């Protein structure tokens, strides 16, 4: 599989199961920390984050990493207050260490700044589209959906407006 082609799970109408999309995500991102290598409490959050990449059709570039957090807050049952609570867990530093390894400090923060500027219009659009959102993805309980198609999940939780 060529890394230059977009992953199948990023296709808005992908009929892959969530499990297949997650397998593709891990196959394409061998450098990421796998949840199975982490303490159980953090592994659950890390797995939910990885599954979110697949469900929302996001890759691991900085643009998509920055996009996925507010998208999660606005379309799932995992809100900003939950993120603040989980951020206190020392294991969460693993995600940030991955980013630092991948980018380096200066490149990471300059990338965050430049991509955030690019994302402002999309953030506003996403926020407006989610103001009346009624079906929330169960962020920390996504495993029961592993054998459902991405198309079906995206339809059920009204996620099409957020996937390009």
| pLDDT tens-digit series, residues 2-18 | 457 999 999 999 999 99
The answer on pLDDT for 1 being more than 60 is no
Q: What is the mean pLDDT of the chain?
A: 90
Spatial separation of the C-alpha atoms in residues 107 and 46, rounded to whole Å: 23
Among 1-10, 21-30, 51-60, 137-146, which is the least confidently predicted range?
Answer: 1-10
Task: State mean pLDDT over 153-162.
Answer: 96
Nearest to 150 by CA among 19, 58, 25: 19
Token pair of 114 as six digits: 């430049």
Spatial separation of the C-alpha atoms in residues 154 and 12, rounded to whole Å: 8
pTM for this model (two decimals): 0.87
Task: State mean pLDDT over 109-134.
Answer: 92
* Domain assignments of the chain as residue spans, ordered by start: 15-162
pLDDT value at residue 98: 75
SS (H, E, C) the chain: CCCCCCCHHHCCCCCCEHHHHHHHHHHHCCCCCCHHHCCHHHHHHHHHHHHHHHHCCCCCCHHHHHHHHHHHHHHECCCHHHHHHHHCCHHHHHHHHHHHHHHCHHHHHHHHHHHHHHHHHHHHHHHHHHCCCCCCECHHHCHHHCCCEHHHHHHHCCCHHHCC
Percent of the chain with pLDDT over 70: 97
């Amino acid at each position: 599989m060529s890394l230059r082609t977009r992953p199948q799970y990023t296709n808005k109408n992908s009929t892959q199961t969530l499990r297949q999309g997650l397998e593709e995500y891990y196959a394409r991102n061998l450098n990421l920390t796998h949840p199975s290598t982490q303490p159980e409490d953090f592994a659950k959050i890390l797995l939910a984050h990885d599954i979110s990449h697949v469900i929302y059709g996001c890759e691991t570039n900085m643009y998509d990493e920055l996009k996925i957090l507010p998208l999660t807050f606005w379309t799932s049952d995992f809100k900003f207050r939950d993120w603040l609570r989980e951020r206190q867990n020392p294991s969460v530093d693993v995600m940030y260490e991955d980013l630092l390894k991948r980018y380096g400090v200066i490149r990471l923060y300059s990338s965050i700044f430049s991509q955030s500027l690019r994302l402002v219009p999309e953030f506003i659009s996403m926020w407006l589209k989610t103001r009346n959102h009624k079906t929330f993805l169960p962020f920390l309980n996504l495993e029961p959906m592993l054998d459902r198609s991405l198309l079906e999940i995206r339809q059920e939780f009204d996620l099409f407006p957020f996937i390009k």
